[in-house]
Amino acid sequence: MRILVLLVAVVIPFSDVVAQRKIRPVPTELTRACGTGVKWRTDLDAALAEAKAKKRPVFWYVPTVQRSRMDRKPEIDGYMMAGPFSAPDVETILNRKFIPVKLAARGEAQKKYGLYPLKFVEPGFLVLAPDGEEIKKVDKIATLVSEWFVWQLDEALSRRPALARESTEAAVAAKEQNPIALVRALLAEGDLEQAEKVAMKDAGVAKPTAEMMVLRARVFRRQRKEGEARKWMKAFEDPGATWTADVLVETMRLALARNLPKDAEAAFIRGTEYATNETRFLHSVALHLQNREGEAQEIWKKLVATGENDRWTRKASAELQRLGPFCRAFERFDFLPLDAFVRDPDGTRVGRKLKQGIWLGKRGIELLLVNQRANGSWDDSTYDFGGTASLPNVYLAITALAGVALMEWRDVHPAGVDPAVERAADFLLNEQNLAPKDRNEIAWAHAYRLIFFEHYLRNPAAKKKAAARTKARALVKELVDSQLSSGAWRHEYANPFVTATIIHALARAKRARVPTGQDTLEQAGKSLLQRRGQDGTFSYGQRGRAGSAPQAAAGRMPLCELALLLTGKSDQQKLAHAVETSFKHHDLLDTVRKYDDHADRYHNGGFFFWYDMYGRLEAIAAVEDTAKRKVFTQQMLQLVLDLPEIDGGFIDSHEIGKTYGTAMGMICLKALLPSRN
């Protein structure tokens, strides 16, 4: 995990940090063109003057802010440009009803709107009245769904009715009394209620044309009225029905919205003679969602090879380079739940209620299943702090956690979970998927695989238990052999939290009757105890003074204290103190959750978040005092229920990825729900 250079200089000699070579794709010209269909202005004052003249609001996209703690700003901006800002509906409404500006926040504008690090976490946007008054502000965007953006834009317009004027296109269509053109214009601009009124004006009086039937379906789909949308598309399901390009795209859009990628693929095959670049791209989405990423990539290659420069070839280029949001699991094409649409959202986070716990589990399963690769892995992470050569080990670690999450939720959807877990097991058993020379992330690959196999050995549907037990023994040996003379372990450098994780993994293996060696745990416990301060805090690195400021150490305290307890070097009072301290300082972690680097004065980083939450969960489970454990469990459950994204997934640092966050969130949620306590 990352550490600031200043902190490295204090606690970790540079000789202890292995050199990392990061080979990252350079965006092609076509990829860089993503989002350029929006007519971006780059001067805020000039945009406000133009807004005043045209009586429109300003849409200010803020890709970053001055002195931001975010590290990989270009990647985040790339996701936004290839995601929502490449969506036809978002592009049209921005160009017709707003004055769009793309500009980093700095200087007087940053001060005026309070766009400071930790206060405004990129990416985000503001909607401003022509006089500069703030109408709406949204930051911490991590889940990208075009319909959500359109809804937020339309909601902002509703706050200033005088600015939400009819566009030229809509006005001309209305004057010419052309309902088809008017519905298309209203749809393009996100005015869905008015589009429905116009589209349904003659319903029940005159038989609609095929074109109007498709438009009615589109109106209802855009409003998430699935039943009505299907009703108007039903006529086209008949084998003898006449299809058009419009019929094809709407059939595919509706199938993807319903999370039915096989139906979307079937529609493309049936209507292939009407294929456009849009439906070809949607076909690639349908294939990717069926774990057929190789076929999806072939479509992206063909789209790029056309030499055309439109939004779909640009998106294909971004995805082909793995710089787009879809292959990284940030962009979704299916219906969002109704509670995702909030007037003043906390980014793309929407807290859920206890009664939605099982629903969250189902959503998490869906997200994990569609993002599993054909080889059984989950590889959406871009976490390359240990260098590009370490990424295979990152994939192994995250695949192990995703597999654990699926096994924990197996009772909800065994038909989907069991095959996915077996594919994951195959991937995790195969040492060809390991980067054995990596010294930076290999510890996580070993530790989390060991935790996976401990769960797998308890899984009633597991088919490879003998191989799993053999692999667990081999992983224990790898961990024992890699233990340092100090008793600690290292990933990018020796530190207490990786040592605590490995103690936890070895203890799990021991419970599964996989021999671990008492001396190994004894030496690890002694090492960890040396890094513990008198106040129960643990240092970040293996050198320097023991302990740390509670605000800096609170997140790792529960797992580290649990590890000491597992080695016989702590007690229940100290464990409870660690858990209490983690709750006390939780807000510090939550504030930095979506940063990809150390972000506050205590060096807390977003990539700590779910790691620390998982450690706290395991520590709570080990608290013997029933009353205390119940209180801790309720506190923890409420925190987890407050964290889901608009789509029901979970995330912390975008760099570690949506799969990792969702897996960790699911593991925590299942353990905390009342049926388990």
Give the Cα separation of 194 and 217 in Å (integer).
15
Helix/strand/coil for 538: strand
In this model, does residue 579 exceed pLDDT 90? Answer: yes
Last residue of a domain, one of 320, 349, 367: 320
pLDDT tens, position by position, 108-127: 999 999 999 999 999 999 99
Which residues constitute the domain of residue 96? 28-160
pLDDT tens, position by position, 543-561: 878 888 999 999 999 999 9
Report the number of distinct structural domains present in the chain.
3
Helix/strand/coil for 144: strand
The mean pLDDT of 13-39, rounded to a whole number, is 81
What is the token pair recorded at 605? 């980083």
Last residue of a domain, one of 160, 190, 220: 160
Instruction: Identify the pLDDT of residue 11.
Output: 33
- Stated pTM of the model: 0.95
The mean pLDDT of 561-590, rounded to a whole number, is 98
Together in a domain, 403 and 466: yes
- Element at 638 (helix H, strand E): helix 626-641
Contact 561, 604 (CB under 8 A): no
Together in a domain, 44 and 96: yes
Q: Is position 638 within any domain?
A: yes
Together in a domain, 172 and 152: no
Together in a domain, 601 and 462: yes
Together in a domain, 358 and 277: no
Last residue of a domain, one of 134, 160, 186: 160
Together in a domain, 651 and 508: yes
Instruction: Identify the pLDDT of residue 4.
Output: 32
Q: Is position 16 within any domain?
A: no
Give the Cα separation of 222 and 253 in Å (integer).
10
Together in a domain, 283 and 395: no
Instruction: Identify the pLDDT of residue 203.
Output: 76
> What secondary structure does DSSP assign to 335-363, as a single string?
PPPGGG--SS-BTTB----GGGHHHHHHH
Give the Cα separation of 399 and 41 in Å (integer).
42
Distance from first CA to last CA of the chain, Å, rounded?
Answer: 33
Together in a domain, 263 and 388: no
Give the Cα separation of 603 and 4 in Å (integer).
8
CATH number, domain with residue 211 = 1.25.40.10
pLDDT tens, position by position, 143-189: 999 999 999 999 999 999 888 776 677 777 676 778 999 999 999 88
Buried/exposed code over 596-635 (b: 16+ C-beta within 10 A; e: otherwise): bbbbbebbbbbbbbbbbbbbbbbbbebbeeeebbebbbeb
pLDDT tens, position by position, 241-294: 999 999 999 999 999 999 999 999 999 999 999 999 999 999 999 999 999 999
Q: Is position 299 within any domain?
A: yes
Contact 63, 104 (CB under 8 A): yes
